[in-house]
Every structure is written in structure tokens, then in C-alpha cells.
Amino acid sequence: MMRKQIAAANWKMNLNAKSAEELINSLLKNSPEVKDNHLVILGVPAIFLEDVKRQIEGHDKYFVAAQDCSANKNGAYTGEISAEMLAGSGIKYVIIGHSERRQYHAESNSLLAEKVNRAIEEGIIPIFCCGESLDIREANKQNVYVEEQLKESLFHLSEEDFKNIIIAYEPIWAIGTGKTATEEQAQEIHHHIRNVISEKYGKVISGNTSILYGGSVKGNNASSIFGQADVDGGLVGGASLKADEFKQIIEGLK
Ligand code: PGA
């Protein structure tokens, strides 16, 4: 996959059928021009996937993403949704390893490697989340920490498979806190992530990998963060629930 600039929404566990439909309607009304190298990916609760997918039909740069998939293929796992089910419903993207899943569902790097495998087996592109907590950042150990997350969950992949990975770097201390990483902090760690990928998979693949930033991205800070050389757009929580703000974020893509 060629490197894309991506505005990805992460609705988390918000909205209902009616407010979700309204949000998509407002988003598509006078929607900003989405350039050739841009994608808009809407990470919505599983129960809305099919409806939102239907609503965005005809908008060829818009896609839906699931927010998670099971590490298992199928079987007695009540409440879980498999990658095979997502693929069967035409879903092309899945968020894997969001910090809230790591924290509240004890998802480890090795479990996430399995989720990544299940997605890839079904031809679904993982949006793989990584990022450090505040204490790790304060100890200035974020580079090593994130490197380990990538190595343990992704670096078993072949070159062919790694080409289909999207990375989202989301420092936990910036998620939902209104505290974004500075442009310099974002660029520095994104550059590091690209280097780590390059060491493993080479310059061409690392140059083609989209690395998104997440953590309090808003309409008014998107373009300056996305403007950094190694930042290829964002994964957006709170601000993706407001149509006007998310449109501004789409417009902020370089
Ligand atoms: P936020 O969330 O934009 O509300 O900080 C980002 C995320 O968790 O993906």
C-alpha cells in the first residue's frame, strides 16, 4: 500500500443508531474535498458497521473500521466478533491494540500479535495502536517502549503482510486529556517508529507506512501536527463525534 494521509475516527462506545446516522449525514453534507492520497476511516461500534457502511456508499475515500476483533478464529467466545465475520460483512479495516483495550481488557503484545494475524488472514488492514503512559514518558523511555510494542506484536509479519499495516501512535497521557504531544514530540517519535520499521523491513516499506498520531487531536491543532514530516494524519476520539470538527481535521491532512 502506498503511504496515505488518513483521518481516522474512533467513536469508542458513544452514540446510538439515531445519533450515529445524524453524525454521518452531517459529515457527508458539504464534506471537504478528500484528495487522492487521503483516506477517511470511521472506527465505529460493531453494531453500527453495516449501517454506516451503507451510508457512506458512493464516497470512495470513506471506509468503516471495527474497533477490535477476536484473537480466535471462531468458537465458544461469547460476545466476541471474529475477523472472518468482519470480512464477510465487507469491513476492510480494524483498530487493534487501542490503549483502552490494553488497559481494561488486559490485552498483551502477544495477544495483539494474534489479533493482527486473524485480521491479515482475512485481508483486513489492522490500524495497530501503540504508545506509552505518562510515567514512561517522564522517564524518557518512550522510544524503547514503543519499539517493543511494535516488535512483539508486528515484527513476526512477512514483508508482504507488513505492507498492509497502519500504525497509530497514541501517547496515553494525551488521550482524552486535552493534552496533545507537541509537534516536535510527535515528529520525534514518529521518526523513531519509521526508523525501527526501516531497520526490520527496509526503507521502501517504512517510507510507505502510514503512521497516524492520536491523542486530543482537534480541529484547531490537526494541520500543525499532521504537517510534521513523519505524521500521516490522526486517529481521533472525542473530536470525531462532532461533524464540523472532524471535517476540519480532514481538511488538516497534508
Ligand atoms: P482523543 O482519543 O482524540 O479523544 O484523545 C484518541 C483515541 O483514543 O484514539
C-alpha 104: how far from its chain's center? 18
Residue 139, all three cell numbers: 522517564
Where does the chain show beta strands of DSSP type E?
5-10, 38-43, 62-66, 93-96, 125-130, 166-169, 211-214, 233-236
Average pLDDT, the chain: 97
Residue type, 187: Q
Element (H, E) at 30: none
Contact 10/237 with Cβ under 8 angstroms?
A: yes
Residue 230, all three cell numbers: 513523519
Q: Whose CA is nearest to atom 2 of ligand 1?
A: 237
Question: Whole-prediction pTM value?
Answer: 0.97
217 lines ligand 1 (CB under 6 A): yes
Supply angle C-alpha 199, 167, 189, rounded to 5: 65
pLDDT one-digit tens code per residue, 238-252: 999 999 999 999 999
Mutation to probe ligand 1, out of 216, 218, 225 (largest number of atoms < 8 A from CB): 216
170 lines ligand 1 (CB under 6 A): yes
pLDDT one-digit tens code per residue, 187-239: 999 999 999 999 999 999 999 999 999 999 999 999 999 999 999 999 999 99
171 lines ligand 1 (CB under 6 A): no
Q: Which ligand 1 atom lies nearest to the CA of residue 217?
A: 3
